[in-house]
Homo-oligomer: A and B are copies of this chain.
Amino acid sequence: MDMTRHSRSNLAGVLRQHGINPTHQRIEIARALFARFEHLSADQILALVNEGHPETSRATVYNTLNLFVQRGLIREVIVDPSKVFYDPNTQPHYHIYDVRTGRLADIDADSVRVTGLPDLPPGMVTEGVDIILRVRSAAPESEAAVQGAA
- The interface of chain A, by Cβ under 8 A from chain B, is 19-21, 60, 63-64, 66-67, 70, 76, 78-81, 83-84, 94, 96, 98-99, 107, 111-118, 120, 123-139, 146-150
Contact = CB atoms under 8 A, between A and B. Distances in A.
A148 B67 contact: yes
A129 B126 contact: no
Copies of this chain present: 2
Contacts of A134: 126-130
Contact of A125 (B84, B112, B135, B148): B135
Nearest to A16: B150
Contact of A132 (B99, B123, B129, B136): B129
Q: What are the nearest 4 A-B pairs in CB distance?
A: A63-B148, A127-B134, A111-B116, A112-B116
